[in-house]
Amino acid sequence: MKSKKLLVLLMTAALGPISPAFAGDIDDLKQEIAKMRADYEQRIQQLEQRLSEAEATTQAVADEVATAPESAAPIASANSSNTFNPAISMVLNGSFNQYQNHADDYALDGFNVQGEGGLDSEGFSLGESELTVSSNIDQLFYGQATLAVHDHDDETELEVEEAFIETLGLGNGLTVRAGRYFAPIGYLNERHAHAWNFADAPLIYRGLFGNQLSTDGVKLSYLLPTDYMLEVGTSVGNGDSYPGSGDHSGIGDWLVYAKTGGDIGIESSWQAGISHWRSSPDDRSYSSGHSHGDEEESSALFNGDTDITNLSLVYKWAPNGNFRQENLTLIGEFMYLHDDGNISHGSDEFANYDGKQYGGYLEGIYQFNPQWRSGLRYDWLGSKHRASDDELLADAGLEGGRSHPQRTSAMVEYLPSEFSRIRAQINHDQSYSDDDWQMILQYTVSLGAHGAHQY
């Protein structure tokens, strides 16, 4: 303070006394500075107030959203565009087949091949083409129907392959399906033929089901709330499909299954499954294939219980998890059938029967770039049959079982896009007395909407 007074005295002495006019200017400047300071302080207070109000409003909205109850799913109106605009797709699946042996002589030692389990006709064939219509019906149900057109016994047939409804949004991991569908036994059975990695079904599917097992019934599945995928389910049906075919009262077949899986890092994943199917057919018919002159012998009939157990394992790999560029898929399945009952042929011929049929396949598919895939498959069968009358085994076409049918297959396919495929396949089939070399050329194209395939 003393230094400031001394500085003023020195300046006064040097400059002389300050004039009244100059002193007034200094007072005006002081007043302007004070006014500007007051204005800035007022603006800062206004901005701080607006910021506080905005923060309070934001917090109120967040609290309201957090405490609001979940709204129900909107109810689809009768005039929804989806009502008259279902997803429609068609898959054309033609082929050219050439065999070393005659296709009509095809057999599986120890198995009675039924339905479509035989070889397709030689030469050009329509194969199995499909027309699928699907849509969400409303907030509760989804529906799908698939019609299949294929050649069988030199005739073109049209059949309903699948037609079912399925629940949406039941919650708690529950899903119910009702109608006609492929039974959830094994890995391959639920997949349509055009989604198979090879042009034909594995031998065990041919021998047990005549290619695939379907049912008219109800399926219940439950996806458990676990860190890894775990699904269990059951299915009950009418049992009309072989090997459940025959007379039934009420439920004709039932099935239980479980499957689990998960990821191994970002590049690999796996899935394992187990399933058990049972039917108790009355008068299940075996086509013997034996004939006298122009007349085929009447078939033998089976009465008893049939059980089938399936084990499956799938492994998939793709570098950096990018499946579109390169990937490897390994699939293995094993099935075991046990028949316990009797075989009859007419009213006077009767035999106790205990039969076992088993087999499986291993296949590996490698996609080495987005447009090319190649694969190898090996499948085999075995059987053991015991009856109190060997002649009835022959009538049922089950007199074999002394050899073990097996087959090796190789394929390569070109994929111009995700909607088309051209495949070439070679089989070395050792299923019966004479080895058979088989060549199959196949095209598969998809028209219209087509959903993603299962894992």
**452/187: higher pLDDT:** 187
**434/445: higher pLDDT:** 445
Average pLDDT (148-176) is 87
Cα distances (angstroms) measured from residue 98 to each of 151, 175, 347, 442: 16, 44, 43, 12
| Confidence at residue 81, expressed as pLDDT on a 0 to 100 scale | 42
Q: Does 108 have pLDDT greater than 80?
A: yes
Q: Does 71 have pLDDT greater than 50?
A: no
Where residue 74 falls among pLDDT bands split at 50, 70, 90? very low
Average pLDDT (53-64) is 75
| Confidence at residue 431, expressed as pLDDT on a 0 to 100 scale | 87
292-324 pLDDT per residue, tens: 334 445 578 999 999 999 999 999 999 988 888
Tokens of 176: 């119910």
Average pLDDT (279-302) is 68
Average pLDDT (140-146) is 94
Q: Does 66 have pLDDT greater than 70?
A: no
Q: What is the pTM of this model?
A: 0.79
Average pLDDT (32-41) is 80
| Residue linked to tokens 């605009």 | 85
| Confidence at residue 433, expressed as pLDDT on a 0 to 100 scale | 77
| Confidence at residue 38, expressed as pLDDT on a 0 to 100 scale | 78
| Confidence at residue 318, expressed as pLDDT on a 0 to 100 scale | 94
Q: Tell me: cis bond preceding 243? Omega within 30 of 0 counts.
A: yes
Distance CA 260, CA 273 (A): 6
| Confidence at residue 73, expressed as pLDDT on a 0 to 100 scale | 45
Buried b (16+ CB within 10 A) or exposed e, 252-261: bbbbebebbb
Nearest to 262 by CA among 232, 223, 230: 230
Cβ atoms < 10 Å from Cβ of 183? 24
Q: Does 220 have pLDDT greater than 50?
A: yes
| Confidence at residue 19, expressed as pLDDT on a 0 to 100 scale | 59
Beta-bridge mates of residue 272: 260, 313
| Confidence at residue 311, expressed as pLDDT on a 0 to 100 scale | 98
| Topology at the third CATH level for domain 90-448 | Porin (2.40.160)
| Confidence at residue 4, expressed as pLDDT on a 0 to 100 scale | 52
Give the rounded percent of residues in the chain with a pLDDT score beyond 70: 85
Average pLDDT (232-236) is 97
| Of the candidate ranges 163-167, 334-338, 401-405, 433-437, the one whose mean pLDDT is the lowest | 401-405
**251/432: higher pLDDT:** 251
